Structure 1
Amino acid sequence: MERRSFVRQAGLAGILAAGAAPAVVHAQANIRWRIASSFPKSLDTIHGGAETFAKKVGEMTGGKFQVTVHAAGELMPAFGIVDGVQNGTVEAGHTVPYYYFGKDETFALGAAIPFGLNSRQMTSWMFEGNGLKLMREFYAAYDIINFPCGNTGAQMAGWYRKPIKSMADVKGLKIRIGGFSGKVMERMGGVPQNIPGGEIYQALEKGTIDAAEWIGPYDDQKLGFNKVAPHYAYPAWWEGGPQIDLFVNRKAYDALTPEYKAIVEAAATYAHVDMQAKYDAKNPMALKQLVANGTKLFRLPKDVMDGAFKASNDLYNEIGTKNANWKKVYADFAKFRAEQNLWFRFAEQGFDQYMQSQKL
């Protein structure tokens, strides 16, 4: 069969299966992209998501499509990603959407909101529900197209100089807490601080803040929080399954060939799965090491959880009365969450509860 006819009839999937992909890739132009990250290089898990994406793009294009990753502060501030991508300063950014709730609260729905979805549910909403469609419609106003590119799984609730025993202990608490969740903390009487990951340790060490949440044992241990605050809380009611996104400038994306667009999507999806796999593999040992070195675990009391739940729902209702974007996306999000919780209550929770009660 003549080669052009073969390519036309087989399509990309057939070409890959037949081993003819190199000819297709070699026909593409050489491209270089820069990704600005919101994270420090020291965090090989969350910062590493962008590096995993970049590596896969290079591998799948035979080096024709090169992507370089730049840590927070190298090209722009950690929380400057949306502006940088929207303005075309960089082709892409790797960040957590809720950092930008100040522009529009709807950003938070693309990552995590208090008492939202767990990581599996979030991925399901994005890929099989309306999540990706609705968020892309929203991001279009910023000339951005997003790709799910990581998830940490459920997080810990942070490090405290003193344990939280009741709602009274939240009053006046100066806590580093990411993005949108700070709005709920304010309603509970706390004093939220939105501080980039690379600056949290110094703020906690100097007493500028009383507590700080970041992600979980593996990353928290790397950042040394246990050295300056001995009490470690769980669970993070604000982050049941936060998604990290690859934000791509619309013009840069539209300039890609269909093959390169497919490769961007495939590489982002690979990085998405890879990040959570890393966290799930690394967190158990890190938690054991932290406890062995004196970390004191405690569970947030029920009155704190109940207070946070009420404050969160009150906030969502208020936002819905004044933000049409939020109202549209949250309505779908909430419906999906209700359906997911109905299912997880039986099979998933039933299995997990039994297994976690066993001595293995």
Structure 2
Amino acid sequence: MQRRSFLKKASLGAVAGTTLATPVFAQSNPKINWKMTTTYSPSLPPLYNTADTFCKMVNEASGGNFSIRLYPAGEIVPGYGVMDAVSNRTVEAGQTASYYYYGKDPSFCFDTAVPFGLNTRQMNAWMYEGDGLKLMRELFAPRHIINFPLGNTGTQMGGWYRKEIKSIDDLKGLKMRTAGFAGEVLSRMGVVPQQIPPGDIYPSLEKGTLDAVEFVGPVDDEKLGFQKVAKYYYYPGWWEGSAQVSLYVNDAAYNELPSAYQSLIDTASRAAGSRMVSDYDAHNPAALRRLIAGGAVLKAFPRDVMDASFKTANEVYKDFCDKDPNFKKIHDNYMSFRDSVVPWFRVAEGSYDNYLGIALANRKK
């Protein structure tokens, strides 16, 4: 109500102030209609609804002059076709996770998540207060895309497995759905990675084409029903200490916009993205409890698996840095930022969270 009141008063004030206000307003805020596609479908509410919220915010704040119509995955282009569709202006905008395009350039993963990388707040800090957004904009520019952060899932789970993972040996030969750098690291540990769109994951797991799957976390995993066909649920998802979702905007379409609409895209993407984080944080706990009550067996990865994963991830990074100067430039900046902020989080947030968790557990005894 306050926002609508503000917009109404602002419009009336402009009209009352000068007879030129109305024509100027109309010229600087033209009627524009965009199409936007997404990798996700309405069956994944936090992800899809974030894109929908963004579109509604833009429409409302512009008084209906800037309209963006959202199309679920598959209606205009396939779920993994978002980057190409925005790049060639089949659509003006798209929502996706950049690590899906690992095959085009591994550096895109830094826009979403990399193994043993930043958590959600650290990622936001790198993007907005560090060099993250600048480096990502440089990376996307040759593809005619301007990227904006559009939310984050938070730290993800380690996925669903048909059998227990007791040691590194249990990973060998495992056919697992994963994405981005996780697949490269896991493959060196004996896993056979598979990149499969969200809608095809459950059937593949049910038929035995997959032995394991990682997707997001309790809210989305429950919706997709993975617990029905693979009962062991592991944590943490070391390959996704956070997972940033992105808004892609075609650069030519963006440059055609008046500056007010350009600012609106930035503001609405931040607001909608913040709601995504809140959505996951508010609903993952209850979803996890329901999954466990329904038979899911919650397990932590063994320490030797974690240590081997960390060692292998650093070997992969070195190999890619040695081959690709641009990858190295982004990697070094990202990891330097990580190394500078993790000690602070360990002192403050980590110690607080660990103590509170133990205290609450002891209180129940």
Query: TM-score per shorter chain, which class?
Result: over 0.9
Identify the residue that residue 161 of structure 1 maps to in structure 2. Answer: 162
Alpha-carbon distance in 2 for matches of 1:303, 1:296: 20
Alpha-carbon distance in 1 for matches of 2:65, 2:7: 20
Are positions 1:237 and 2:227 aligned together? no
String of CA shifts for 1:100-126, please: whole Å, max 9, x gaps: 111111100111000000000000000
Identify the residue that residue 36 of structure 2 maps to in structure 1. Answer: 35
Identify the residue that residue 301 of structure 1 maps to in structure 2. Answer: 302
Alpha-carbon distance in 2 for matches of 1:57, 1:21: 17
Secondary structure in structure 1 of the residue aligned to 2:234? strand
Alpha-carbon distance in 2 for matches of 1:86, 1:293: 43
Unmatched runs of 5 consecutive residues or more in structure 2 = 1-5, 15-23
Alpha-carbon distance in 2 for matches of 1:339, 1:228: 41
Alpha-carbon distance in 2 for matches of 1:69, 1:223: 22
Alpha-carbon distance in 2 for matches of 1:320, 1:298: 34
Structure 1 residues 18, 205: closer, same or farther in 2, change over 3 A?
A: closer
Alpha-carbon distance in 1 for matches of 2:356, 2:54: 34
String of CA shifts for 1:6-59, please: whole Å, max 9, x gaps: xxxxxxxxxx69942575765411111111101122111011111010010011
Identify the residue that residue 92 of structure 1 maps to in structure 2. Answer: 93
Identify the residue that residue 186 of structure 1 maps to in structure 2. Answer: 187
Asked if 2 retains the 8 angstrom alpha-carbon contact of 1:25 and 1:62, the reply is no
Identify the residue that residue 261 of structure 1 maps to in structure 2. Answer: 262
Alpha-carbon distance in 2 for matches of 1:26, 1:193: 51
TM-score normalized by the length of structure 1: 0.93
TM-score normalized by the length of structure 2: 0.92
Identify the residue that residue 208 of structure 1 maps to in structure 2. Answer: 209
Q: Which runs of 4+ in 1 moved over 4 A?
A: 21-27
Are positions 1:251 and 2:252 aligned together? yes
Alpha-carbon distance in 1 for matches of 2:7, 2:264: 15
| AA of the residue aligned to 2:269 | A
Secondary structure in structure 1 of the residue aligned to 2:141? helix
Secondary structure in structure 1 of the residue aligned to 2:146? strand
Are positions 1:145 and 2:146 aligned together? yes
Secondary structure in structure 1 of the residue aligned to 2:172? coil
| AA of the residue aligned to 1:73 | G
Asked if 2 retains the 8 angstrom alpha-carbon contact of 1:99 and 1:180, the reply is no
Identify the residue that residue 136 of structure 2 maps to in structure 1. Answer: 135
Asked if 2 retains the 8 angstrom alpha-carbon contact of 1:159 and 1:225, the reply is yes
Asked if 1 retains the 8 angstrom alpha-carbon contact of 2:32 and 2:67, the reply is yes
Secondary structure in structure 2 of the residue aligned to 1:182? helix
Identify the residue that residue 20 of structure 1 maps to in structure 2. Answer: 10
String of CA shifts for 1:177-217, please: whole Å, max 9, x gaps: 12221011101110000011111000000000000011011
The CA RMSD measured in Å over matched residues stands at 1.4
Alpha-carbon distance in 2 for matches of 1:191, 1:19: 60
Alpha-carbon distance in 1 for matches of 2:172, 2:237: 18
Structure 1 residues 53, 327: closer, same or farther in 2, change over 3 A?
A: same
String of CA shifts for 1:270-312, please: whole Å, max 9, x gaps: 1111101000011111111111111110001111111111111
| AA of the residue aligned to 1:112 | A
Identify the residue that residue 120 of structure 1 maps to in structure 2. Answer: 121
Higher helix fraction: Structure 1 or Structure 2?
Answer: 2
Alpha-carbon distance in 2 for matches of 1:25, 1:97: 36
Secondary structure in structure 2 of the residue aligned to 1:88? coil
Percent identity at matched positions? 49
| AA of the residue aligned to 1:312 | A
Alpha-carbon distance in 1 for matches of 2:181, 2:84: 18
Identify the residue that residue 313 of structure 2 maps to in structure 1. Answer: 312
Alpha-carbon distance in 1 for matches of 2:253, 2:32: 10
Structure 1 residues 233, 25: closer, same or farther in 2, change over 3 A?
A: farther
Alpha-carbon distance in 2 for matches of 1:21, 1:98: 42
Identify the residue that residue 59 of structure 1 maps to in structure 2. Answer: 60
| AA of the residue aligned to 1:266 | T
| AA of the residue aligned to 1:207 | G
Structure 1 residues 238, 25: closer, same or farther in 2, change over 3 A?
A: farther
Alpha-carbon distance in 2 for matches of 1:212, 1:50: 25
Shift of 1:76: 0.9
| AA of the residue aligned to 1:188 | M
Shift of 1:343: 0.7
Alpha-carbon distance in 2 for matches of 1:89, 1:180: 28
Alpha-carbon distance in 1 for matches of 2:312, 2:31: 51
Asked if 1 retains the 8 angstrom alpha-carbon contact of 2:35 and 2:93, the reply is yes
Alpha-carbon distance in 2 for matches of 1:323, 1:178: 20
Shift of 1:358: 2.1
String of CA shifts for 1:130-187, please: whole Å, max 9, x gaps: 1001100111111110000010000111111111110000000000012221011101
